[in-house]
Amino acid sequence: MKMNSPIGLFDSGVGGLTVFREIVRLLPSEDVVYFGDVGRYPYGGRSKEIITQFTRQDIAFLLEHDVKFIICACNSASSVALEEVIGDYEIELIGVIEPGARAAVNKTKNSRIGIIGTHATIGSNAYAKVIHSLDSDMKVFSLACPLFVPLAEEAYIEKEATYLIAKDYLQTMHDVGIDTLVLGCTHYPLLKKVISEVMGDTVTLIDSGEETAKEVRQKLVKTNLINSKTSEIPPINGDYNFFVSDVPDKFSSIATRFLGHHMEKITRVDISRYPAKLEL
Amino acid sequence: MKMNSPIGLFDSGVGGLTVFREIVRLLPSEDVVYFGDVGRYPYGGRSKEIITQFTRQDIAFLLEHDVKFIICACNSASSVALEEVIGDYEIELIGVIEPGARAAVNKTKNSRIGIIGTHATIGSNAYAKVIHSLDSDMKVFSLACPLFVPLAEEAYIEKEATYLIAKDYLQTMHDVGIDTLVLGCTHYPLLKKVISEVMGDTVTLIDSGEETAKEVRQKLVKTNLINSKTSEIPPINGDYNFFVSDVPDKFSSIATRFLGHHMEKITRVDISRYPAKLEL
């Protein structure tokens, strides 16, 4: 494992680009290998068993690229699979739950935190567990908002229907008086505007992806794994390679919308040929 | 291939249950093997290439069960993959496009037909091609309504937001004056009420799944493949076996809602071990 190896990042699809964008902003000289499982997205409605199999395949793919650190940018995989697999690999693996949970505990003033995410993330209770391990006095309210993913994917955002769905989902969060809401799915930051409109000014939104990028920087600094290009003058930008499990067209166009510029290196991968079980 | 072999039916997930229900209604003595690819649904946003690979795996699985006939109940797979693979198998394979298209041509009075479906189905232009091969004077208007699938899956049906989305999608269908609308996705019949409310009384809705079941019965009669139990007195019901590519829980609960009674035989299958390419 070398300091100049790339950071590996995987997600069920395009949502992880919100985490990638933060990594690029905070660590502009780091190389990144991104794997987006667009051939099998979304993960959030699937079982723990199959998400764990997919996660092992995604990790096996990144390990082949000699990465120095792996970020699981998908909240569903972080919630239901990471704990299960983390002990089986030597490399450092970080999910998005702990950084998001920690930020929420630090932000809340009334100790009432809301969590929204997919069926898999909410069903796992992963955020509540971490929050309670940090501070057992916290009150946590969790809610699955499964329609937010297709609405964000379809860019169906500035619409009355989306506002009504958000209001319908989030009314109970309002009623229980949370002051902090964790966006526990990488797609949800795309709906930030409508979510904050529904929740009002008094509620702070936490973007787990953003918090995860901050934590990655801290960890790389602490373990002396910051890329040596970082200290060059003038600064040298990182190299970015994207891999996807379906043809790259759709990923490419969504990535362009997400990142504001065209992506060049996007390669198709047959993810089914990577081991879904741990090979002993 | 024996008359008493089961009918094979596959779909990307639960949507094909609408076709299964019609088969049971029209052919109550037939045995059915159903495969639902819930571990990799939905197909409708994926590429032709990957849908074709998934389709070959689904067919390979059903062939292992010695079926006499295969129904591709998924509109997306029927649209983009069936034509590509159909010549490679000896068994009779039927999709949902031709029956739906034929019914629309028979129903329309003003020769203006609307087609709604997933991105894959609409992008393929499959319905329009079949309709024009039957009658080149027909005017066909096609539209992707991708949010209808998650809305149906989440049972988010009797809601104002769903009505607004349907109105938003279907307004152009109204404007161009169609008198017949094909529900080109097995999930859409679940939204029939809201779709017909938006379209009004003058527009006939065609359920491709229903039409496909009718065509299957005709074909079995014509080829003397009707199960011999059909002529027993009293009538003997068929045997139904369900297979899914993720844990059966969610499929089971949605199936119960769809069919109005509890399903017993649901088995998990590892679909990734079936060949995604034709083996020569």
3-state SS string over A71-84? EECCHHHHHHCHHH
Q: How far is B259 from chain A (nearest CA, A)?
A: 21
Question: Residue B46: which of A39, A147, A160 has the nearest Cβ?
Answer: A39
Domain at A97-208, CATH class: alpha beta
> Whose structure tokens read 């905070």?
A26
* Percent of chain B with pLDDT strictly greater than 90: 86
Q: Give the DSSP letter of residue B236.
A: -
- Residue in B12, B37, B40 to test binding to A, most A beta-carbons within 10 Å: B40
Pairing of strands A240-244, A266-268: parallel
Q: Are the Cβ atoms of B165 and A164 closer than 8 angstroms?
A: no
The reply to whether omega before A234 is within 30° of 0 (cis) is yes
Q: Are the Cβ atoms of A246 and B50 closer than 8 angstroms?
A: yes
Tokens of B64: 């292992």
Closest listed residue to residue B124, CA positions, set B72, B76, B168: B76
Q: Are the Cβ atoms of B149 and A151 closer than 8 angstroms?
A: no
Q: Where in chain B do CATH 3.40.50.1860 domains reside?
A: 7-96+210-273, 97-208
Task: List Cβ neighbours of A186 (8 Å cut-off, separation of 6 or more).
Answer: A11, A15, A16, A17, A18, A19, A73, A74, A75, A96, A208, A209
Using CB atoms within 10 Å of the CB of residue B234, give its burial: 0 to 12 exposed, 13 to 18 middle, 19+ buried.
exposed
Q: Are the Cβ atoms of B40 and A45 closer than 8 angstroms?
A: no
Mean pLDDT across A248-254: 88
Q: Are the Cβ atoms of A246 and B168 closer than 8 angstroms?
A: no
Specify the fold of B7-96+210-273.
Rossmann fold (3.40.50)
What does the pLDDT read at residue A231?
84
Pairing of strands A32-36, A240-244: parallel
Mean pLDDT across B38-49: 94
The whole-angstrom separation of Cα A47 and Cα A89 is 22
Question: Residue A164: which of B160, B245, B276 has the nearest Cβ?
Answer: B160
What does the pLDDT read at residue A2?
83
User: DSSP letters of B115-175?
Assistant: EEE-HHHHHHTHHHHHHHHH-TT-EEEEEE-TTHHHHHHTT--SSHHHHHHHHHHHHHHHH
Q: What is the pLDDT of residues A39-65, one digit of tens each?
A: 999 999 999 999 999 999 999 999 999
If you measure CA to CA, which chain A residue comes closest to B164? A161
Q: Is B185 a catalytic residue?
A: yes
Task: List Cβ neighbours of A99 (8 Å cut-off, separation of 6 or more).
Answer: A208, A211, A212, A214, A215
What does the pLDDT read at residue B279?
64
What does the pLDDT read at residue A279?
64
> Whose structure tokens read 């997600």?
A11
Question: Residue B47: which of A162, A247, A276 has the nearest Cβ?
Answer: A247
Q: Are the Cβ atoms of A164 and B161 closer than 8 angstroms?
A: yes
The whole-angstrom separation of Cα B124 and Cα B140 is 14
Q: What is the pLDDT of residues B166-188, one digit of tens each?
A: 999 999 999 999 999 999 999 99
Q: How far is A107 from chain B (nearest CA, A)?
A: 33
Tokens of B86: 């159909």
Q: How high is the ipTM of this complex?
A: 0.90
What does the pLDDT read at residue B200?
96
Q: How far is B165 from chain A (nearest CA, A)?
A: 6
The whole-angstrom separation of Cα A219 and Cα A213 is 10
Using CB atoms within 10 Å of the CB of residue B14, give its burial: 0 to 12 exposed, 13 to 18 middle, 19+ buried.
buried
Phi, psi of A67 (to 5 degrees): -80, 155
The whole-angstrom separation of Cα A57 and Cα A272 is 8
Cβ–Cβ < 8 Å for A135, A105: yes
Task: List Cβ neighbours of B231 (8 Å cut-off, separation of 6 or more).
Answer: none
What does the pLDDT read at residue B248?
92
Res. A280: pLDDT tops 60: no
> Whose structure tokens read 């479906």?
B117
Res. B280: pLDDT tops 60: no
Q: Are the Cβ atoms of B276 and A272 closer than 8 angstroms?
A: yes
- Residue in A147, A157, A162 to test binding to B, most B beta-carbons within 10 Å: A147
Q: Which of A131, A185, A216, A225 is catalytic?
A: A185
Q: Which residues of A touch B76 (CB under 8 A)?
A: none
Q: How far is A273 from chain B (nearest CA, A)?
A: 9
Q: Which of B178, B185, B190, B213 is catalytic?
A: B185
If you measure CA to CA, which chain B residue comes closest to A148? B150
- Residue in A57, A143, A157, A165 to test binding to B, most B beta-carbons within 10 Å: A165
Cβ–Cβ < 8 Å for A134, A102: yes
Range with the poorest average pLDDT among A262-266, B136-140, B208-212: A262-266
What does the pLDDT read at residue A255?
86
> Whose structure tokens read 């904050």?
A196
Res. B260: pLDDT tops 80: no
Mean pLDDT across A144-173: 95
Q: How far is A159 from chain B (nearest CA, A)?
A: 9
Q: Are the Cβ atoms of A247 and B50 closer than 8 angstroms?
A: yes
Q: Are the Cβ atoms of B147 and A159 closer than 8 angstroms?
A: no
Q: Which residues of B touch A38 (CB under 8 A)?
A: 46
What does the pLDDT read at residue A1?
58
If you measure CA to CA, which chain B residue comes closest to A46? B39
Q: How many CB pairs under 8 A join A and B?
A: 72
Q: Is A72 a catalytic residue?
A: no
